Chain A
Amino acid sequence: MRKFGFSIMLFLILFSSYECENIKVTFLAQWYPQAQFAGFYYAKEKGIYEKYGLDVEILDSGPSRIIFSNIMPDEVDFFTLFLSSAIVKYDYSYKIVNICQLSQKSGLIFVSKKEAGIESPADLAGKRIGVWYEDFNEIPLSFLRDHEVEAQVTGIKSSIDLFLMDGIDSMGVMWYNEYDQIYLSGIDHENLNTIFFSDYDYNIPEDGIYCSEYFYTENPQLCEKFVKASLEGWRMAFENKREALDIVTNYMKKAHVATNRAHQSWMLDRMEELFLVDDKKFGVLYEEDYKKCEGILADNYFLENRIGFDNFAKNVIED
């Protein structure tokens, strides 16, 4: 009986791999479709995943489909997360592992209008500061605490409208996204002050590719294929930005997300600056970056237990 069962299994495996060459996997980005994820769309649309023997389904993404909030890691194979969020989630709930680190540099800034007079972290003291309420806020909040800024922090859902209407003096935003949205709302660059986290010893990289620890253990080769294909997608997207933007625009339209070329183009250019950094290998999570992030999170009470680099980081392309 056991023998028979084994034979059936063997048959099924052989049959399925014969019938369906490409292995089906799912992918979820951590936000609405936009140029922040251009490489994945590019790899899918230009057949790069197929080339690696993958049939990737890119799931609808957005604030209503955020991993851990409304989708659990076992419902999806691969997903992106900020490094800080991923570490916190690992600690609190579910064992997930970093299989690829896309961003090598922090894109976080505090932006303010010139007239607020905020030029350094110290100037933030006593000001009304907007920080995302739920996700992605660990680092901005730690930054404020580490710089001993006593300010009136307001939780922000996602929009920049409160900032534009002067309901807050400064707001923690992504340089590649909200900063340009502010510019595209009519406020000139010269009328904005920025505090780049990376300039204040807070250079914590963000976007990375994750999967559950279980999935990784079961399918290490699959993970490697997905990472390699995705990195190739990104590289190609940076080389063919016009085409990449067309693809991104299509995804955004399908998701009924407001889109315009000017903003997506800015975002793709910034992603390139954050991803392709001179002294770091694209796709690799460095131990010092991890430790820095883990340290900051632990110091600011976002973390109860240290996880350890080796448990968290599975740099599939380094092997």
Chain B
Amino acid sequence: MPKMLSKIKNMSVIYKVTIPIIIITVLVFGTAVVYNYEFSKGLLLKNVEENTRNLINSAINKSEGFFVSVEKIAQNINYVLEDRYLESQEIYSLIEKIVKKNDEVFGSCLAFEPFEYDKSTAYFAPYCYEKDGEVYCNNLAERGYDYPLWDWYQIPKVLKRDVWSEPYFDEGGGESIMSTYSVPIFDESRGNIKAIFTLDLSLEWLNELVSQIKIFDTGYAFLISRKGTIITHPESEYIMNESIFSLAKENEYEELREIGQKMINSEEQFIKVNSVLYNGVSWLYFAPLSNNHWSIGFVFPEKELYADLNELTFNIVAIIVIGIVIIAFVVFFIVRKLTKPLVKLSAITGEIGKGNLDVTLPENNSKDEIGKLRDSFFNMQQSLKEYIINLENTLSAKKRMESELSIAKEIQLGFVPKKFKLAGHDEELEVYGHMEPAREVGGDLFDFFFLDENRICFAIGDVSGKGIPAALFMAVTTSLFNEYRNSNESGTTVKEIAEKLNRNLCARNPESFFITMFICILDLSTGELKYCNCGHNKSYLISKGGSLKFLEEVNGMPLGVAPLEYGISETIKLEKGDKIFLYTDGIVEAFNEKGEIYTEKRLEDNLMKYSDKKIKDMVKIISESVAEFAGEEPQSDDVTMFCVHFKGR
């Protein structure tokens, strides 16, 4: 699913526009077609139902006339027999007349109850029938015909009402489907039945009537008897052989049996049925012939009912499909035309992204959103060009400054000694210093030089402030300090050096910078160390045994503040192996990301711990320890150390 979403996200705008339009169009038209189809189906069905009802009912009405006329014949006989006693000859001629005068009547009988007509004769049943156009008459009883047991006699007699027999096929007589209508003739005075009057009727007309009912191409009507026997049906094999129930059983089609039961119960219905009556889904309407409880059914296949509608719907769907294809093409091309400048712009933006600002934007004279976008791109391109020119200028200025600064750094580093070889004094003394400016250039310094054969002067200093101004001030201080290098003035003291330096600095210090300094002079012959602390932090004497001594007396203000005198310098006597450690506050005030500071304690511990190391290594270790302590935190102040190892003569 997310894969698909991303696929959709990455689709071209053309598809993003075209596909939803097509989907919505299909949905709208689809809904319309389905609604139209279903609604029309309902209408069609309603119409057809009405049509079918009308057709079947008109057929039923037509048949009513026949049944009424037949029943009238029977009634007339009843009246005649009620009126008076008829001679047997009269009865024969009456029946003969009935057969002759009525086309549908192929036989008629007046069968008397035993001993009813004549007390001495058991059976008397005058019967006339038509055969090959001639009418013949006889007494059924004469042929040994046991008529009281036959259905045509027995059923109306037992039921005491008129009865239409089950249909039968009469060979030799009507040569058609027949049914016998039997009516009991009552003796009104005694209240019993005295005879059964019958009419054998051809139902060919009914057959024709039913087979004439036509709807659609293959719709057909059929007739079933009270027992469900099929009387008329396009499938001639069914006629008189099958019943609606045998078809249901043969085809294991329970629904048809239920339909059959409704039909023989004289019900009326319009329902949908499956197969058997037709291949596939079909509709069935059935209604009873009121007089004999037979039922007429009409069935037609659904596909014919909906054939026109299906064709119409098919055409509409075809038109819609073609329409949608056209819509899809039109939308596709419009969107492609609209997005063409976008595609070009996107390609050009790529070029611009690669740094080619001189590519030409496509021409677009329209003032629509895409035109505006193109103009915005043009403006952006121009702005970018300007910006890049500015940037290039700024960059070159910065580069220049950087290169200058790095030169300055080199120069500044040149101010502090890099070589620590003391020609001719290696046996007596070792010195080592290290400076790490916080920025490119710093305000710390250290230096050393021999005043004469025995005396070495060394100092460490820290200019107030940082950066280039502090560096320049440091440079000034260093050059002033260096005035004593190899001066060979034997009487020069630390105090004098400090005071002179102070005076010179005060005289050329318009910006009121100042510098703290720790200045020392060591007499190698005696081991006497004189120092002057000009506002600098304390320094350490690391005795050979590893104990620390603080050189913490302050002899005056930092240099450059005011041309004052400095106090008496301190003097201490170094033993062979002692070390002097000078440093700036960049070490002890270094802090880490937690805001903790390095502290003098940590420095002192390290000095004691590594007291027996060579001074170069000690300085390196402390430098690393500070860097390690600060971690990722940028260096806040210049870190400078200077160490002297007195070995003595």
Contacts and interface: CB of A to CB of B under 8 A. Distances in A.
| Max chain B Cβ within 10 angstroms of own Cβ: one of A156, A165, A168, A183 | A165
B241 interface: yes
Interface in B249-270: 249-250, 257, 260-261, 264
B116 interface: no
Contacts of A165: 155, 159, 163, 226
A186 B241 contact: no
A157 interface: yes
A184 B155 contact: no
A1 interface: no
B637 interface: no
Given A162-B158, A165-B159, A261 B246 contact: yes
Interface string B208-231: 000000000000000000111100
Nearest to B169: A256
A259 interface: yes
Contacts of B246: 184, 260-263
A159 interface: yes
Contacts of B229: 258
A295 interface: no
A168 B229 CA distance: 21
A133 interface: yes
Contact of A260 (B149, B171, B241): B241
Contacts of B169: 256
B570 interface: no
A165 B250 CA distance: 25
B250 A186 contact: no
B228 A167 contact: no
B259 to A, nearest CB: 10
A259 B151 contact: no
B150 to A, nearest CB: 5
A236 interface: no
A64 to B, nearest CB: 11
User: Which residue, of B149, B165, B166, has the highest number of chain A Cβ atoms within 10 A?
Assistant: B149
Nearest to A161: B151
B154 A260 contact: no
Contacts of B518: none
A117 interface: no
Interface residues on A, range: 20 to 34
Interface in B527-555: none
Interface in A109-158: 133, 154-157
A183 B149 CA distance: 23
Given A157-B151, A186-B261, A167 B158 contact: yes
Contacts of A164: 226-227
B158 A154 contact: yes
B155 A161 contact: yes
A16 interface: no
B250 A260 contact: yes
A185 B245 contact: yes
B243 interface: yes
B149 A155 contact: yes
Contact of B151 (A155, A162, A186, A265): A162
B243 A167 contact: no
Interface in A249-292: 256, 258-263, 265
A156 B155 contact: no
A171 to B, nearest CB: 12
A185 B151 contact: no
Contact of A167 (B159, B257, B261, B264): B159
B203 interface: no
A157 B149 contact: yes
Contacts of A155: 149
A156 to B, nearest CB: 7
B242 interface: yes
A261 B229 CA distance: 14
B240 interface: yes
Chain B interface size range: 20 to 34
B155 A162 contact: yes
Interface string B235-249: 000001111111101
B243 A184 contact: yes
Nearest to A167: B158
Contacts of A156: 149, 154
Contact of A185 (B149, B228, B241): B228
A168 B264 CA distance: 19
A166 B155 CA distance: 10
Taking each of A133, A159, A186, which has the highest tally of chain B beta carbons within 10 Å of its own beta carbon?
A186
A184 B229 CA distance: 9
Contacts of A188: 261
Nearest to A181: B227
A256 B240 CA distance: 10
Given A154-B158, A184-B243, A133 B166 contact: no
A153 B245 CA distance: 30
A157 B166 CA distance: 15
Contacts of A154: 154, 158
A262 B249 contact: yes
A133 B149 contact: yes
Q: Of residues B155, B245, B264, which shows the largest number of chain A Cβ atoms within 10 Å of its Cβ?
A: B245
A186 B146 CA distance: 30
B242 A260 contact: yes
Interface string B130-156: 000000000000000010011100110
Contact of A183 (B150, B245, B264): B245
B621 to A, nearest CB: 112
A171 B151 CA distance: 15
Contacts of B151: 157, 159, 161-162
Contacts of A167: 154-155, 158-159
A183 B165 CA distance: 19
Contacts of A263: 246
Contacts of B250: 260-262, 265
Given A167-B159, A260-B242, A262-B249, A186 B228 contact: yes
Nearest to B239: A258
Contacts of A161: 151, 155, 165-166, 227
Interface in A187-203: 188
A188 B171 CA distance: 33
A12 B240 CA distance: 50
A184 B228 contact: yes
A159 B167 CA distance: 13
Nearest to B248: A262
Contacts of B261: 186, 188
Nearest to A159: B151
B158 A184 contact: no
Contacts of A183: 245
A30 to B, nearest CB: 19
A185 B227 contact: yes
Nearest to A263: B246
A169 B169 CA distance: 29
A125 to B, nearest CB: 20
B515 to A, nearest CB: 125
A164 B158 CA distance: 13
Nearest to B165: A161
A162 B154 contact: yes
A58 B158 CA distance: 38
Please list the 3 inter-chain residue pairs (A to B) with the smallest Cβ-Cβ separation, ordered nearest first. A167-B158, A262-B246, A262-B249
Given A157-B146, A165-B226, 12 more contacts: A157-B149, A164-B226, A164-B227, A167-B155, A185-B227, A185-B245, A186-B257, A256-B171, A258-B240, A260-B247, A262-B242, A262-B246
25 contacts: A133-B146, A133-B149, A154-B158, A155-B149, A157-B149, A157-B154, A161-B227, A162-B155, A165-B155, A165-B163, A165-B226, A167-B154, A167-B158, A184-B245, A185-B228, A185-B245, A185-B264, A186-B227, A258-B229, A260-B242, A260-B247, A261-B250, A262-B242, A263-B246, A265-B250
Interface of B: 146, 149-151, 154-155, 158-159, 163, 165-166, 169, 171, 226-229, 240-247, 249-250, 257, 260-261, 264
Interface of A: 133, 154-157, 159, 161-162, 164-168, 183-186, 188, 256, 258-263, 265
